[in-house]
Chains A and B, each alone.
Chain A
């Protein structure tokens, strides 16, 4: 048989290239994975948006929500966390600190969301609009928690001495998407919730 095979791959570079989430592979693959994930998550929230629009139309039991003011502070926290992460990307020396700060801010955001839910519960509005509020924000918070575990993972890799911005960039992409998604949800809930 004259099967042509590639020569054995060259010896690994002195600085290992890590792609995050799996074994070292193509340097693009982590980012590709995040883009695909963004597609799926967008579809999930698009489905919930269409459900909200259908449910809100002609519904006599739909009461407009007064969103707790805390949500706007949470928004600032989340946007701030995007900024810290981006700072780390531009100044590699500060990357580990940026990862830790971003993770802490992400945690503050989720805590703030939980407090906002408790405030909303005391309003005793109930009904479909608050049900959508809880579903949308909880699902978003769950995705933020997933993003935080990704940040912790990237931070862990850096501590292990792997110097690579491939997983950092992929995690940043996901994290910024979380911020964009939250701005969208806030707009949706303000206008239609």
Chain B
């Protein structure tokens, strides 16, 4: 269990993410049900949460608590843990031809610290009145003042801040390993230009994460001190909450927002860039064509990484920030769409004219491109302060970020799972179940999130637990449609879970290279031996993109460790 093998650690991260994603999904089901039928009791909920949902009908505060926990669990323990830490850990050392990560013991520690962070967060369900309700962004001052700010803002919010602080340490250790491994442990012949796209993406993601989590960590320390030590970093003077004058002076709530979003915006790229890498590696395999413009792709990743640090203020247009700063942040926000659009065109160019092999992995990779574009387009409207002022507090934003980072990153995770499962476990997954899973999920997520754009344009505010205002009541049927779509799409994930468990136990034996791919993980056994290559390190002679070429044995590809 306490293994220092990067492959075991990668699988541990993925298992943790699996537990987390189903937890987060159940929370979203509860919220969606309440939004559709606010007066109907949810069976059993009253017993689980007698304080927040007496009789099975949740209070508005409990709704916010579920929203907070959903967001926190999904962003940190699923979208960061699975595509970056999970797949990256398993595959990055193999793809560069190393035996393990640069610092295996630190690597092991980073997983166990992540698990501790998760347990501390989940503990917030069981202590105090209810979980915290400040959202995954934990905006000060309400997140900083303690239990006067509402139920769950006592112990629950403190546990939140401690959990995220611990999580930062884990990710810093993980990123350090990713960067050092990529820089120093590449095998002979594995120049930077020959690195697979997924490795490039994990490497650049690690650089982003290193800087971002290094900022969130001290921010969490300051937040904890405001809560438990009586300091005033984020709490202004003269603040009255729940009729109580808060004993603080001079703090700045905007300071928390700046620190948080300086982390928070790069964090969305931590969630999505591994998906970029996974898709860029999978599409050429199933298109049997090299990726179009691999160097342009890498340059775009680097540009996105740099720009991701210049745009954080676009989350704060309505926060009381100087309006001139809004313009300053709006420009790079629009600029960052250029490299993102180029990457999308490279994917489309790669599959253009190709005879695609439709597998579960390639379908999810194509689905990734689809939902990423759908979510990206709504970003244009939100990047401009003038339109954002209207849209920011509405479901339009919910639709935008769920598509562009939530669902897209999930599709990247699914694509990666179907693609690398044979390598990880030595067994094939069921393609039939995989395709059912894809189509139900693909149609489902569009049914859930497409209508939310309309809700937002119609002025439907987000974060409300029920829509009792006159102007919102006509929108309730649409909410019910979304709820049903969410329940069905969620249920479709059980197909995936069943496929995972069944294939792990009884799937057909996987060959070493079932997809006819080129990168190093496919030239070793499935699953790879403890030291990855059986005591002999591969020598790389090719780039990762040698498809549609005259390979040895009449094949249309040349593997990276093969001679021509």
Per the bound structure, the CA–CA distance linking A54 and B563 in Å amounts to 59
A42 (CB) vs chain B CBs: closest residue: B214
B-facing mask of A144-160, CB < 8 A → 1, else 0? 00000000000000000
Tell whether, in the assembled complex, residue A44 and residue B536 are in contact, meaning their CB atoms are under 8 Å apart. no
Given contacts A33-B180, A55-B233, A61-B249, contact A44 B225 (CB under 8 A): no
- Is B451 positioned at the interface, with any CB of A under 8 Å from its CB? no
B562 contact from A2, A6, A32, A59, Cβ within 8 A: A2
| Alpha-carbon distance between A23 and B98 when the two chains are bound, in angstroms | 12
Residues of A within 8 Å of B103, CB to CB, are 21-22, 29, 33
Which residue of A5, A22, A45, A131 contacts B105 across the interface (Cβ within 8 Å)? A22
- B184 close to chain A: CB less than 8 A: yes
Contacts of B183 in A (CB 8 A): 32
State whether A51 touches B259 (Cβ < 8 A). yes
Which chain A residues (10-61) contact chain B, with CB distance < 8 Å? 21-23, 25-26, 28-29, 32-33, 36-37, 39-41, 43-48, 50-51, 54-55, 59-61
Complex-state Cα separation, A8 to B217, whole angstroms: 44
Q: A22–B225 contact, CB under 8 A?
A: no
B530 interface hit (Cβ, 8 Å): no
Q: Find out whether the CB atom of B210 lies under 8 angstroms from the CB atom of A36.
A: yes
Is B215 touching A32 in the complex (CB atoms < 8 A)?
no
A60 partner residues in chain B, CB cutoff 8 A:
249-250
Interface membership of A128, Cβ < 8 A = yes
CB atoms of A128 and B233 under 8 A apart? yes
Provide the bound-state CA to CA distance between A117 and B494, in Å.
Answer: 56
Contact B523 A3 (CB under 8 A): yes
1/0 per position for B162-184, CB-CB distance to A under 8 A?
00000000001001100110011
Binding-face segment, B44-52, B368-376, B465-473, B537-545: B537-545
A4–B102 CA distance with the chains assembled, in angstroms:
24
Contact with A along B523-538 (1 / 0, CB 8 A): 1000000000101111
CB of A9 within 8 Å of the partner chain: yes
Contact A139/B221 with A40-B214, A47-B215, A128-B233 known, Cβ cut-off 8 Å? yes
Count of A interface residues, CB-CB < 8 Å: 41
Give the residues in chain A near B231, CB-CB below 8 Å. Answer: 128, 131
Q: Is the CB of B214 within 8 A of A44?
A: yes
Complex contact B233–A41 (CB within 8 A) = no
Bound complex: CA A26 to CA B98 (Å): 11
Q: Quick one: which of B105, B213, B259, B563 contacts A4, CB cutoff 8 A? A: B563
A64 to chain B, nearest CB (A): 14
Q: Check B536 against A7 for contact (C-beta < 8 Å).
A: yes
- Asked whether A5 and B218 contact (CB < 8 A) given A36-B176, A51-B255, the answer is no
**Closest chain B residue, CB of each to CB of A131:** B231
Q: Is B123 an interface residue (CB 8 A)?
A: no
Contact of B188 among A6, A23, A46, A54 (CB under 8 A): A6
Q: Contacts A40-B172, A54-B255, A131-B231 known; A6 to B538 CB distance under 8 Å?
A: yes
A189 to B220, CA, bound (A): 21
| Bound CA span A54–B256, Å | 11
Taking the closest CB of chain B, its distance from the CB of A134, in whole angstroms, is 9
* Contacting pair B255 A25 (CB below 8 A): no
Query: Per a CB cutoff under 8 Å, which of A3, A29, A40, A61 touches B180?
Result: A29
**Which B511-564 residues have a C-beta within 8 angstroms of A?**
523, 533, 535-539, 541, 552, 559, 561-563
A62 interface residue (CB < 8 Å to B): yes
Q: Is the CB of B210 within 8 A of A39?
A: yes
CB nearest neighbor in A for B255: A54
Known contacts A3-B559, A4-B563; A22/B106 CB under 8 A: yes
Given that A4-B539, A62-B250 are contacting pairs, would A22 and B102 also be in contact in the complex, using a CB cutoff of 8 Å?
Answer: yes
Q: A23, B100: Cβ atoms under 8 Å?
A: yes
Residue among B102, B210, B538, B561 with max Cβ neighbours from chain A (10 Å)? B102
Does B211 count as interface, using CB distance less than 8 angstroms? yes
Q: How far is the CB of A125 from chain B (nearest CB, A)?
A: 13
Chain B stretch 216-236: residues in CB contact (< 8 A) with chain A: 217-219, 221-222, 225, 229, 231-233
Q: Are B180 and A36 in contact (CB under 8 A)?
A: yes
- Looking at the complex, which one of A40, A46, A51, A54 makes contact with B210 (CB distance below 8 Å)? A40
B537 cross-chain contacts in A, Cβ below 8 A: 5-6, 9
Contact indicator A29/B184 (Cβ below 8 Å): yes
Residue A135 is within 8 A (CB to CB) of chain B in the complex = yes
- A21 to B110 alpha-carbon distance, docked (Å): 14
Question: Which residues does chain B contribute within 8 Å of A139, judged by CB atoms?
Answer: 218, 221
Closest chain A residue, CB of each to CB of B551: A2
- Residue in A5, A54, A59 whose CB lies within 8 Å of B536: A5
Report whether B222 and A135 are in contact in the complex, using a CB–CB cutoff of 8 Å.
yes
Q: Which residues of B contact A59 (CB under 8 A)?
A: 250
Closest CB of chain B to A26's CB: distance in Å? 4
A90 to B169, CA, bound (A): 34
- Chain A residues with CB under 8 A of B384: none
Chain A, Cβ-Cβ closest to B541? A4
With A9-B537, A33-B176, A33-B180 given, is the CB distance from A44 to B218 under 8 Å?
yes
Q: How far is the CB of A11 from chain B (nearest CB, A)?
A: 13
Distance in angstroms from B446 CB to nearest chain A CB is 39
Q: Which residues of B sit under 8 angstroms from A40, Cβ to Cβ?
A: 172, 175-176, 210-211, 213-214
Most buried by A among B172, B218, B222: B218
- Could you tell me if B218 and A51 are in contact, using CB atoms closer than 8 angstroms? yes
Q: Could you tell me if A8 and B536 are in contact, using CB atoms closer than 8 angstroms?
A: yes
- B359 interface residue, CB < 8 Å from A? no
The minimal Cβ–Cβ distance linking B439 to chain A, given in whole angstroms, is: 36
Which residues of chain A come closer than 8 Å to B135, judged between CB atoms? none
Which residues in chain B, 363-398, are within 8 Å of chain A measured between CB atoms?
A: none
Establish whether residues B232 and A61, one from each chain, have CB atoms under 8 Å apart when the complex forms: yes
Q: What string of 1s and 0s marks CB contacts (under 8 Å) between B269-302 and chain A?
A: 0000000000000000000000000000000000
Chain B 94-126 per-residue mask, 1 if CB under 8 angstroms from chain A, else 0 = 000000111111100000000000000000000
Shortest distance between the CB of B144 and any CB in chain A (Å): 13
- Residue pair B552, A2 in contact (C-beta under 8 Å): yes
Contacts of A32 in B (CB 8 A): 102, 179-180, 183-184
A131 and B225 contacting across the interface, CB-CB below 8 Å: yes
A-B contact pairs, 15 of them (CB 8 A): A1-B562, A22-B104, A22-B106, A26-B184, A26-B185, A40-B214, A44-B214, A44-B218, A51-B259, A55-B233, A55-B251, A61-B249, A61-B250, A128-B250, A131-B225
Across the A-B interface, the 7 shortest Cβ-Cβ residue pairs: A43-B214, A61-B250, A22-B103, A47-B215, A131-B231, A29-B184, A40-B214
Known: A40-B213, A40-B214, A131-B229. 20 other contacts (CB 8 A): A4-B539, A4-B541, A5-B539, A9-B537, A22-B102, A22-B103, A33-B180, A36-B175, A40-B175, A40-B176, A44-B217, A44-B218, A45-B218, A51-B218, A51-B259, A54-B255, A60-B250, A61-B232, A128-B233, A131-B232
